[in-house]
Structure 1
Amino acid sequence: MLILTVATGVAVFVQHHYPLLFLPIMPMMLLTVRKGQLGTALGVVAMAVVGTISTSVGLGPMSLIHGSATEQALFLQFYLAFSMILLLPLAADLEKRRKSKQRLLDSEAMYRMMTDRSGDILFNITVDGLIQYVSPSITKVVGHTPEAMAGMPARAMMHEDDRVVAAAVNHRALSRPNETFVYEYRALTASGVYIWFEAHNRATVDDSGMVTGVISAARDISKRKLNELDLANAANTDPLTGLSNRRVFDDKLRRALSAPRPRSVPACLAIVDIDFFKRVNDTHGHPAGDEVLKAVAATCKLTLRGDDITARMGGEEFGLILWGLRSNDAGALCERLRETVAALHVTVGEQTIKVTVSIGLADLADFDTEAEALSGADQALYRAKAEGRNCLRLAVWPDLNSKAIRQDNDGGLAE
């Protein structure tokens, strides 16, 4: 390129017929583009040497100036200065761009190395929601290849129930580019299974501050979700029987009674109590009592329908919420449960234990509060105990305004 610049300069300055001073500018620009500030300096120096020699012997465009040799030399200096002023800013800008490009390449290399080694999945998503880039780690986690996912909508792999939340988060990220937004969603793997991810989304902007898309770092949190589910189940489940605990039962009962009257879905509450359970523990031991509790719990689950609630209230007492039934139909279901339990023979070692239950039933249509409903079912249960056990009794209006005293000794009604 320097040779081309010198050749152009010689061609322009050895003739004195035409003022072709613009021609050397073009190869000098090319030299500047190739070599930067060094190219500018070399081009101007080469042109100065050629121009000075030609002008001193009366050749070149400067000879067309009608004036003294000093004036011609002065004009040559102006020409060289103009060339320098024109080319140096170009060289500086090109150098800046070169350094920026190098930093970008270094950053991209480091970025790709980190994404290749990271377990997190990185997405570059356009403002239209299309996947522009996804890191190779997606293959290990989800089973899809980056090439297969490029260009597809980011929401395509999400569970349909999570797409609205994802769209809202992306909208907030695009409108507030200085903030990072975190959310959770389920994504479909290549094997057809959904797994949980936690994503951190932040907008990307160009040098002018224009939002160009969203970068999302997604991490597989399936194990954490399973742990959370286990903890939730542990907090809501009776560890011995596997039934719901009292806390869940009270919440379900409260929800059932919170519906405004007239309630569109009828429901009944039943309290089931194992007869003579203290005697079982005293005679056969607490491990045998545990087996009796588990047998009665299993019978409740098998006898009741899928939507019904079965919970261990504490001790030998179980609570049932029977959805969609009034007292007659609920009574028939509870009677079937009582008969099934009465047919049980719980074997513990060489011991066989006969089990019966007493049941108090209350129609929730007759009650306004949780306490009233429990009291009504409790009164019915105490009547069942008082009238011989192993039977079902329905809460009646006199029960609703009376109070019973639970007796916990061997001869008391609690047995």
Structure 2
Amino acid sequence: MDYKAIEHEQLLAAGEKLPIIIFINIFIGAITIMMMWSDVPYRYLLSWIALLISSLLLRLALYLTYKRSTVETTPVWNRYFIITSFFSGIVWGMVGLLIEFYVAEAHQGFEVFILGAMAVGSIVTATYIRWNYLAFMIPMLLFPSIYYFLQIDVYHHFMGVMILFFMVVLSISSINFRNIQAERVISFKKLSNSEQRLKEITSSMGEGILVIDKNGILEFMNAEAEHILGWNFDEIKNTDLHDLIHLHAHGADNSCIVKKAYLHGEKNHSEDDHFKRKNGEIFPISLTAAPINDDHKTSGAVIIFRDITERKEIEKQLSDLALTDRLTGLYNRGSFDETLSYELERAQRYNRSLSLLMLDLDYFKKINDTYGHQAGDDVLKKIANVIKQSIRGSDYPARFGGEEFIIILPETENSKAVELAQRIRKTLENEPIAISENETIHVTTSIGVVTSRQGITTQTLLYLVDKALYKAKRNGRNQVSL
């Protein structure tokens, strides 16, 4: 522990108290002057006022310059504080003598109030520096006590003994108060050093780390957590950051794994949680929350988290690849089969309508043979885009194979299904498709439509829609058959 640095911090703390000391000296000095104005001879009173002003100016000069001190020059500056306190103690000690000599006996009790208040109040402001308080208190109280012992009556002797006893009690109190102040500084520095050490250790970690107390208040945050969340630790320390960033924080205690940690001492992990950044963005995280135990009691929790946005995006891409057709972006045959089984079962359970549209591009082989497979792919993409733009969000479009497409239309009667089929057919017929910079072609499609009924199976439904499509082709193509 660097005790020189601690003494310098004590010096700076003492300097911060100087404005309070100056104000108290001016306030009590003004009251004292008014009380002595009519009784004390002016030459003595004015001399004392001059000494009081001198002591105030010394302290003001000290206040204006103490911040120039360094760890190395702390002992010198400590002496400056002690000298000014000693001089001020002499000035206030002289007040006791002036009151005893010249002020009416009925008002001499005010002396006890002045000197006692100054002595007690200075414990809080003057004890940051060793010997500083004693340098003020001893000369201030010693003058009146010597005067009391020089008197011949028991009353004054008793007052002298009481002042000496008062000095001893105040001396012990000042020492204890200074020790408490020093212990606080040492404890704070130890805590700061521990936090700094912890921050250095965790600065290279790829995970964000938060430490919160038993009330959810933030106590520590490593560099990665600052980077991920966008918050600087100094902005939000000693606040309920968990309540600010965790989407589960406002739920029940048993649904939030962080609350389970610091309230109930439970350790939990989640791969599907979310935090919120300073800018309001919500992002996915991998989260572990573990309790911190002191003397077998939970005193807080440590939260370790990782931003898994990139991983979630990759998982979504892989999932999309497994469910969709790479060329058209529509769903593939495998995902279609699963969805049709689910939607047909749901339609029959709730006695709802379900329709299917099956589309087949007319003369697609001729397009491939004439313009090449790239042109064929462009035509398939065009059909897929027209389908996407024509259907509802609840509909399910898929590439059934080759140039065949199929659409599941939940809760759709045959008339509505035919209407949609005609709209898609006309759009494809009327919109040219660019196959090169200078050439476009028009394509047509044949569409079969079928609507389910109670008891029908998926196999039968597919057979019937395929049969309707074949009928449309047999009757001349570029038409819809129900």
TM-score by length of 2: 0.55
What is the Cα deviation at residue 381 of structure 1?
Answer: 1.1
Q: Tell me how far 1:110 sits from its aligned partner.
A: 3.7
**SS of aligned partner of 1:292:** helix
Structure 1 residues 102 and 368, CA, compared in 2 at 3 Å: closer, same or farther?
farther
Contact 1:367–1:373 under 8 Å retained in 2: no
TM-score, normalised relative to structure 1: 0.63
Indicate the larger mover: 152-161 or 116-125: 152-161
Which residue in 2 is equivalent to 1:192? 280
Q: Residues 47-95 of structure 1: CA distance to partner in whole angstroms, max 9, x if unpaired?
A: xxxxxxxxxxxxxxxxxxxxxxxxxxxxxxxxxxxxxxxxxxxxxxxxx
Match of 2:304 among 204, 207, 217: 217
What SS is found at the alignment partner of 2:348? coil
Counterpart mapping for 1:115-194 below 5 A: 115-149=202-236, 150-152=238-240, 154-159=242-247, 167-170=255-258, 173=261, 181-194=269-282
Q: CA distance change for structure 1 residues 265 and 152 in 2, over 3 Å: closer, same or farther?
A: farther
**Counterpart in 2 of 1:278?**
365
Alignment correspondent of 2:479: 391
Written as runs of structure 1 = structure 2, the 5 A alignment for 1:45-124 is 108-124=195-211
Note the C-alpha offset of 1:356: 0.9
Match of 1:337 in 2: 424
Counterpart-to-counterpart distance in 1, 2:254 and 2:307? 16
Does residue 346 (structure 1) correspond to residue 433 (structure 2)? The answer is yes
Structure 1 residue 386: Cα displacement: 1.7
Give, as a single letter, the amino acid of the residue that structure 1 aligns with 2:293.
V
Aligned partner of 1:254 among 341, 345, 351: 341
Q: Deviations over 1:214-262 (max 9, x none)?
A: 2111111111111112222222221111222222222222221222635
Deviation at 1:185, TM superposition (A): 1.7
- Give CA deviations for 1:97-137 in whole Å, capped at 9, x if unaligned: xxxx9999986554221233434221123444443433343
Please tell me whether the aligned partners of residues 253 and 259 of structure 2 are also in contact (alpha carbons under 8 angstroms).
no
Q: 1:349-364 to 2 correspondence within 5 Å?
A: 349=436, 350-364=438-452
Change (3 A) 1:266 1:162: farther
Show the counterpart of 1:375.
463
- The DSSP-based 3-state class of the residue aligned with 1:261 is helix
- How far did 1:176 drift? 8.4
Deviations 1:303-353 (A, max 9, x none): 222332221112101111223321111111111111111113222124433
Quote the residue 1:205 is aligned against: 293
CA distance in 2, matches of 1:159, 1:215: 17
Q: Which of the pair is proportionally richer in helix?
A: 2
| Residue 260 to residue 387, structure 1, CA distance change in 2 (3 Å) | closer
Residue 237 of structure 1 is matched in structure 2 by 324
Deviations 1:164-186 (A, max 9, x none): 79834346546985855233322
Q: Which amino acid aligns with 1:125?
A: I
107-116 vs 368-377, which deviates more?
107-116
Query: CA–CA distance in 1 between the matches of 2:473 and 2:288?
Result: 60
Q: Are residue 228 (structure 1) and residue 315 (structure 2) matched?
A: yes
Secondary structure at the aligned position of 2:321 is classed as: helix
Taking structure 1 as reference, are residues 297 and 178 closer, same or farther at Cα in structure 2, changes over 3 Å only? closer
Give the length in aligned residue pairs. 294
Aligned amino acid, residue 115 of structure 1: T
Q: Deviations over 1:274-317 (max 9, x none)?
A: 11112221222211111111111111112222332221112101
Residue type of the alignment partner of 2:278: A
Could you list the per-position Cα deviations for residues 127-176 of structure 1 after superposition, in whole angstroms to 9, with x for gaps in the alignment? Answer: 44443433343332221222444321514323469967983434654698
The CA deviation at 1:388 is: 1.6
RMSD: 3.2
Contact 2:452 2:461 in 1 (8 A): yes
Q: Which consecutive unaligned segments of at least 5 residues does structure 1 have?
A: 1-100, 395-415
* Contact residue 275 and residue 356 of structure 1 kept, 8 A: yes
Separation in structure 1 between the aligned mates of residue 279 and residue 272 of structure 2, nearest angstrom = 21
The AA in structure 2 aligned to 1:374 is L
Shift of the 145–367 alpha-carbon distance from structure 1 to 2, 3 Å rule, reads farther
Task: Flag as ranges the 4+ runs of structure 1 deviating above 4 A.
Answer: 101-109, 160-166, 171-180
CA contact (8 A) 1:270 1:377 kept: yes
SS in 2 for 1:310: strand
Q: Secondary structure of the residue that 1:183 maps to in structure 2? A: strand
> Residue 199 of structure 1 aligns to a residue in which SS?
strand
The aligned amino acid for 1:240 is L
| Partner Cα distance (1:176, 1:340) in 2 | 63
Counterpart of 1:142, as a letter, is L
1:335 touches 1:392 (CA, 8 Å); kept in 2? Answer: yes
Q: Which amino acid aligns with 1:267?
A: L
Distance 1:260 1:356, change over 3 A: closer
Say which SS state the counterpart of residue 350 (structure 2) adopts. coil
SS at match of 1:259: helix
Code of the aligned partner of 1:214: A
Task: Identify the residue that residue 294 of structure 1 maps to in structure 2.
Answer: 381
The answer (yes or no) to whether the contact 2:327–2:381 under 8 Å persists in 1 is yes
The verdict on how the C-alpha distance between 1:175 and 1:148 changes in structure 2, with shifts beyond 3 A counting, is closer
